A = this chain, B = another copy of it.
Amino acid sequence: MFSDYKLKEACGICGVFNHKEAANFAYLILYALQHRGQESAGIVSTDKKNFYEYKSTGLVAEVFDKETIKKLKGNVAIGHNRYSTTGDDSFINIQPFTATLSSGNIAIAHNGNLTNTYKLRKSLTTKGAIFNSQSDTEIILHLIAHSKGNIITRLINSLKQIKGAYSLVILTKHSIIGVRDPYGFRPLTIGKMKDTIILSSETCSFELIGAKLLRDVKPGEVVIINDKGITSLQPFKKVEPKQCIFEYVYFARPDSILWEKDVYIVRKRLGELLFQESPVEADVVVPVPDSSVASAIGFAQASGIPFEFGLIRNHYIGRTFIEPKQSIRHFGVKLKFNAVRKFLKGKRVVVVDDSIVRGTTSRKIVKMLKAAGAKEVHLRIASPPIISPCFYGIDTPTRKELIAFSHSVEEIKKYSTADSLSYLSLDGLKKAAEKKENFCYACFTGKYLTEFE
């Protein structure tokens, strides 16, 4: 409950082709992708005859143990961990999803959100489809089941019917298939170690297992990995990519190479540009750990103001917390953060955060710093105001709950009790992203790229 001030990534997905410990490697990749979804995890493997599956709620290291991994036989496996975006958090919604089609078994792991689900679900139900979950992903499965031809033909036929954001990793008896939607909203990368091919949402997982980044799956690309190697298809009309800029701002791990850049470097650049746009005189620059550390370092280096780790984060936080009846001021945020007290006394503090969602956390952090003795607190946000929800795979509150939808920067400043507040401009963000036309900025602009049906 105390983590709801952050936007949540929907999912991490992966595939391992041709390794005798395929499931164990999928498990390790999911562990490295844990920041992309902490509610549940699942792996499906195949020995070219049968499919083996294990899924449960919990963190990756809690879900699997030696016994469960052992039962996931075969040289090929795909995996998924999730943060529920659509569908509640019940067991039935845990991915990957599997089905026995007339053409054989299939399993599918999906990161993203479809935007024409209402229409598709209605049409499929009329045809006799029985849905077992509230998940978008099951729609894709039913579309494939109701298509004709071999699995690739069926898949492409199905993809042409869906709209919205989807990076997919699909398992058949003899292949894994990677897909990014034509806009490429969500990431998907290809790695390699010896004769093994890896698909993974992020490259930070490659280091752990000793793989090398080969390349990104391209927007609109279908990549088929089987015994013949890697085959690439481009079944969609080409469109300008709209990759999620928020992966750079907050979601992706700073040690990932995303769309050919170190996420860490992009974030530092956001901090530098933030200083250039909104300089301030101060004694220390303090990050809200861990997500804004790189931006705060960028800000500090650009400004020459010393960087200090003035807010300490408690990483032991569990899922629920027993609140005392007597209200403690800023209880929730205190479970996560604490200020270094004597040190901050009398100082002018720049506190850098990556974004503001509801505003309540910013207010509590500013108050905490002041209670610790800070003379001034200047709030600097390394991205523009979030004014609109995401429909492409990120769990955002409704528009009303986004403080920047209904309040001016001046109003947010007052609410936060900061002595000054500046956001990075949209231009600044685009500058940091370099190939600015390749990105989706909808959460900052409210301009969406696909229809909703």
Residues of A within 8 A of B (CB): 20-21, 24-25, 27-28, 31-32, 34-35, 38, 59-62, 64-66, 69, 91, 99-102, 122, 125-132, 141-142, 145-147, 204, 207-210, 253-255, 257, 261-262, 264-265, 290, 293-294, 297, 301, 306-310, 312-322, 324-326, 328-329, 331, 334-335, 338-343, 368
The smallest beta-carbon distance between A441 and chain B, in angstroms, is 24
Q: In whole angstroms, how far apart are the Cα atoms of A340 and B261 in the complex? A: 11
Contacts of A310 in B (CB 8 A): 264
Contacts of A316 in B (CB 8 A): 31, 34-35, 38, 59-61
Interchain CB contact under 8 A, A339 and B255: yes
Q: Is the interface of A mostly helix, strand, loop or mixed?
A: mixed
Contacts of A145 in B (CB 8 A): 125, 128-130
8 closest cross-chain pairs (CB), A and B: A61-B318, A128-B146, A255-B312, A34-B316, A99-B130, A128-B145, A262-B342, A264-B340
26 CB < 8 A contacts A-B = A21-B324, A24-B324, A27-B322, A31-B316, A34-B316, A61-B317, A61-B318, A66-B322, A69-B322, A99-B131, A100-B131, A102-B126, A130-B142, A207-B368, A210-B328, A254-B309, A255-B312, A255-B340, A261-B342, A262-B340, A262-B341, A264-B340, A293-B309, A297-B307, A297-B308, A315-B315
Q: In whole angstroms, how far apart are the Cα atoms of A329 and B210 in the complex? A: 7
Whose C-beta in chain B lies nearest to the C-beta of A321?
B61
Q: In whole angstroms, how far apart are the Cα atoms of A314 and B38 in the complex? A: 13
Contacts of A99 in B (CB 8 A): 130-132
Interchain CB contact under 8 A, A322 and B65: yes
Whose C-beta in chain B lies nearest to the C-beta of A368?
B207
Q: In whole angstroms, how far apart are the Cα atoms of A290 and B311 in the complex? A: 12
Q: In whole angstroms, how far apart are the Cα atoms of A326 and B319 in the complex? A: 34
The smallest beta-carbon distance between A72 and chain B, in angstroms, is 11
Interchain CB contact under 8 A, B324 and A208: no
Q: Which of A210, A290, A297, A368 has the most CB of B within 10 A?
A: A210
Interchain CB contact under 8 A, B314 and A34: yes
A262-B328 CB under 8 A given contacts A59-B316, A99-B131, A208-B335: no
